[in-house]
Amino acid sequence: QVALTESGGGWVPPGGSLRLSCAASGRSFSNYVVAWFRQNPGKEREFVAAIARRGGNTIYADSVKGRFTISKDNAKNEVSLQMNSLKPEDTAVYYCAASATIITSSMRDDERYGYWGQGTQVTVSS
């Protein structure tokens, strides 16, 4: 079992930056693929980014590629999402998710993740 806690959300004007963090307790993050998803009310959950167990492989949604960076510090049991050049359409609740069994080809599939945080709100507006 692993418990996930997100932090770092808030309000930012368009073009601004935020850094989200996902802290794990209970198990070492080095055994888990970790991803970020986001969701708005009435809409499906959307994949944002994912990082492999050892941190060497990362994938991104096309909508955030070049603006967001996911990173993993297994020593601190933490995954971060650096979000730059934020747009109003990035507004959502952001969730951290983890899986010990997922394979690389399924990293974008939210149904493959068994552990989820409570979410943190990100609002981009002027």
pLDDT at position 71:
96
pLDDT at position 59:
96
pLDDT at position 105:
85
pLDDT at position 56:
80
pLDDT at position 33:
95
pLDDT at position 28:
84
Contacts of 15 (CB under 8 A, 6+ apart): 85, 86
3-state SS, one letter per residue, for 72-126: EECCCCEEEEEECCCCHHHCEEEEEEEECCCCHHHCCCHHHCCEECCCEEEEECC
pLDDT at position 61:
97
- Ranges of the chain with pLDDT below 50: none
pLDDT at position 104:
81
